[in-house]
A and B are shown apart, each in its own frame.
Chain A
Amino acid sequence: MEEKAMNRESNVYTILFSAIMVVIFALGLSLIHQTLRPKQIQNENVDTMRQILRSLNIEASAAEAEAKYAELIKNAYLIAPDGSKVVGTEGTQYYDRAFSAISRRDAAGLPVFEANVNGNTIFILPMRGAGMWAPIWGYLAVNADGNTIFGATFDHTSETPGLGDAIATQAFGERYIGKRLFQNGAFTSVSVVKPGASSLRGEDYVDGVSGGTITSRSVGVMMYQSIGAYENFLMNLQR
């Protein structure tokens, strides 16, 4: 016993013990990570599908999201800066290029999703921008006229609870329905203003979330920049 106690404090034992611990923990954690990874990725994909559906004003549960997505989303592809479809990028599945271009920038172009709701074609454009703290993102559904908004949804990782996080509510997204992105043929986007105020340059506007000034402004900036990149695509639709 005496010997063992002394042994336990020796340098060799300490280093050996630490090394074995580290190896066991690292292996165990990596194993669990590898086993659970497919399930986690699937969760993320289903979550993205639910958000795309939400921009069409459809609230789907996680279980029914995939079927609903397959039913409504007819096509997806990348578009070049001039608004034309990039050849060979079509496909709506999560392993296709349009879907993966939502989270990771694709050098070939910007993703567009085409949905068919009650016989009308709706175009869904992903948005991404900086919030008050961390990235915010969203999806904007535009009617076939390339101008009026069919629906919108926004999400965030860490806007202020009780204030800025209200941008993720359905009520905020619904404020965008029917607003126009273009005025007199020029892209103006839809701005976010303090409740009660009106827009500066005559463009369409929605009320911001109360108490979330910075977050609201970020949503306006994100839409101006992200949808601005689709300007040529939307102009082509209007012709």
Chain B
Amino acid sequence: MAILSGKTKAALLGPLNKDNPVIVQVLGICSALAVTAKLEPAIVMAIAVTVVVALANVIISLLRKLIPTRVRMIVQLMVAATLVAIVSELLKAYAFDVNRQLSVFVGLIVSNCILMGRMEAFALGNGPWPSFLDGIGNGLGYGWILVVLGFVRELFGSGTLLGYQIIPQIFYDAGYQNNGFMSLAPMAILLTGVIIWIHRARNKDLQETE
């Protein structure tokens, strides 16, 4: 694909693995771990963050030659807040039930460090197309972690996926029980720790030496 030169390809694919915003750059853990008890809100959250980061990157990148340096941060915050408010309005109109599960965490996308971090570090110095890909890449890099967490927690916590029963009744008759522990909030962060463990066991260069 000629459209993806070396640099733009790196902008898109890096964040999925060795540059992952959550487990390597340690950005943006705050705002969304609490919504991963079920798979559906986790997927919606992942999509919302990806869209917001990508669009915010494009807007800032288009305006990068116009924004006065002194009000740079404020402009970034306003772009972020506007996009998040739009996403929140759309969710209220087209995904009412999911929006109720996400509650305040949609609004918290605005203080997601990934969003500010990417605008500041990438979009201010690059053109719209690479910025867009960088946003998509970072959003997805963040999203796959959420989806994995949602998948594991819903499957073992409730025995369902997206609300459909997955673990057959035979298992329950034989004495299997849902692990209610998985639905509790601390499991989200414990599982993230485990993901980091696996990821770093495979990528030795990322291990910390202190």
Contacts and interface: CB of A to CB of B under 8 A. Distances in A.
Interface of A: 8-9, 13-14, 17-18, 21-22, 25, 28-29, 32-33, 36, 39-40, 43-44, 47, 62, 157-158, 161-162
B80 to A, nearest CB: 11
Contact of B89 (A33, A44, A157, A162): A33
B88 to A, nearest CB: 10
A14 B67 CA distance: 8
B37 A161 contact: yes
Given A8-B68, A36-B90, A162 B103 contact: no
Interface string B52-96: 000000000000001111110011001100100110011011101
A164 to B, nearest CB: 13
A33 B90 CA distance: 9
B26 to A, nearest CB: 25
B184 interface: yes
A28 B85 CA distance: 11
B110 to A, nearest CB: 13
Given A17-B67, A18-B74, A40 B92 contact: yes
Contacts of B67: 17
A22 B70 CA distance: 16
A17 B89 contact: no
B96 A9 contact: no
A18 B71 contact: yes
Contacts of A32: 86, 89
A36 B71 CA distance: 31
A39 B93 contact: yes
Interface residues of B, number: 28
Query: Chain B's interface: helix, strand, loop or mixed, by majority?
Result: helix
A157 B92 contact: no
B183 interface: yes
A28 B82 contact: yes
A211 B198 CA distance: 34
Given A161-B185, A162-B183, 5 more contacts: A18-B74, A39-B93, A40-B96, A161-B34, A162-B185
A37 to B, nearest CB: 8
A21 B92 contact: no
Contacts of A158: 103
Nearest to B35: A161
A79 B102 CA distance: 36
A130 B79 CA distance: 36
B186 to A, nearest CB: 10
A157 B103 contact: yes
Contacts of A162: 37, 180, 183-185
A62 B93 CA distance: 13
A131 to B, nearest CB: 14
29 contacts: A9-B68, A9-B70, A14-B68, A14-B71, A17-B67, A17-B71, A18-B74, A18-B75, A21-B78, A25-B82, A29-B85, A29-B86, A32-B89, A33-B89, A36-B89, A36-B90, A36-B93, A40-B96, A43-B92, A43-B93, A44-B96, A62-B96, A157-B103, A158-B103, A161-B34, A161-B184, A162-B183, A162-B184, A162-B185
